[in-house]
Amino acid sequence: MAHVLYEIHGSHPCVAVERALQLKRQPYKLRELPPAFHVPLQWLRFRRLTVPVLVLGSGETLIGSTTILHRLDELVPEPSLLPADPAARARVEEAERWGDEVLQPAVRRMIWLGIKRNPHALKGYAKGSKLPVPGPLQTPTARLVCRLAGWRNRADAATLQADSAAIPGWLDHVDELIAEGVVGGPQPNAADLQIGSSLRLLGTFADVWPQLSARPAWQLARRAFPSYPGEGEIPPGTYPIATPAPALAAAAAA
Ligand SMILES: N[C@@H](CCC(=O)N[C@@H](CS)C(=O)NCC(=O)O)C(=O)O
């Protein structure tokens, strides 16, 4: 029987789980939920507030991207998401944890503030969604969803400043992990999926693009996720990020 993935369209941890299902050639169905309103729905159904949740064909319920990726890897060992060697596995798990606990929530805070400032952008992120919002309702819906999601994620001007300033450090960290061979191999591992999905979402912010596009980190993200909804949707000037002129020129030439 097919697994069922409860998700929000374009949500980075949900995209990571869906990619793992595809890599492992697992049959699955999507149950797409409306962003922000999914919180009470998930509570009613699973007594949890977040997506992704995967209900396996066997009936087992898995909550959270890391839990899901690990359990899938146990059940369907090939292609493997975690190395067999214990030391190598510990390094991948450490990178995965950083992706889940540091990068993922920070990019989430940034995206909701980005859409709040550019409500029309929600349309681009919703491309491919099975829950279309009628045209006249799109902007008010985006405003309401951003207000709820921003509040839930404690996203405000102070987090925006701190998250924007942290980006070069995050990218250096990922590039180091790639140089050390922890992530970025030919076959995506669990940390590639966890980190790559967040980088893919980060790459939809025009302000970040100049510093991201030339990085090995971006190659990792593109390899793990060849496409991602919302590309180029959050326009320049949204985030407090000063773009150095040479980076702008390089990005324009790319
Ligand atoms: N780190 C967890 C958290 C997932 C998470 O926070 N998902 C967001 C959507 S991207 C969510 O459902 N948030 C609901 C809320 O708490 O408001 C995971 O990877 O599964």
Q: What is the pLDDT of residues 89-114, one digit of tens each?
A: 999 999 999 999 999 999 999 999 99
When pLDDT is cut at 50, 70 and 90, the band that residue 41 belongs to is: very high
Paired with 4 in beta bridges are: 29, 55
pLDDT over 80 at 253, yes or no? no
Residue 39 CA, ligand 1 centroid: distance in Å:
9
Share of the chain above pLDDT 90, in %: 76
Rounded CA separation 199/217 (Å)? 8
When pLDDT is cut at 50, 70 and 90, the band that residue 54 belongs to is: very high
Atom 20 in ligand 1: which residue has the minimum CA distance?
64
Atom number, ligand 1, closest to the C-alpha of residue 39: 14
* The residue count for the chain: 254
CATH of domain 86-253: 1.20.1050
When pLDDT is cut at 50, 70 and 90, the band that residue 145 belongs to is: confident
When pLDDT is cut at 50, 70 and 90, the band that residue 146 belongs to is: confident
Residues of the chain with CATH 3.40.30.10: 3-75
- 165, HSE (Cβ side, Cα atoms, 13 Å): 6
Atom number, ligand 1, closest to the C-alpha of residue 194: 19
Atom 8 in ligand 1: which residue has the minimum CA distance?
50
Q: Which residues line ligand 1 (CB under 6 A)?
A: 8, 11, 13, 39, 49-52, 64-65, 100, 104, 108, 152
pLDDT over 60 at 40, yes or no? yes
pLDDT over 90 at 139, yes or no? no
Mutate to test the pocket of ligand 1, among 50, 97, 194 (most ligand atoms within 8 A of CB): 50
Statement: 3-75 belongs to CATH 3.40.1080.10: no
DSSP assignment, residue 234? B
pLDDT value at position 62? 98
Residues of the chain with CATH 1.20.1050: 86-253
pLDDT value at position 123? 84
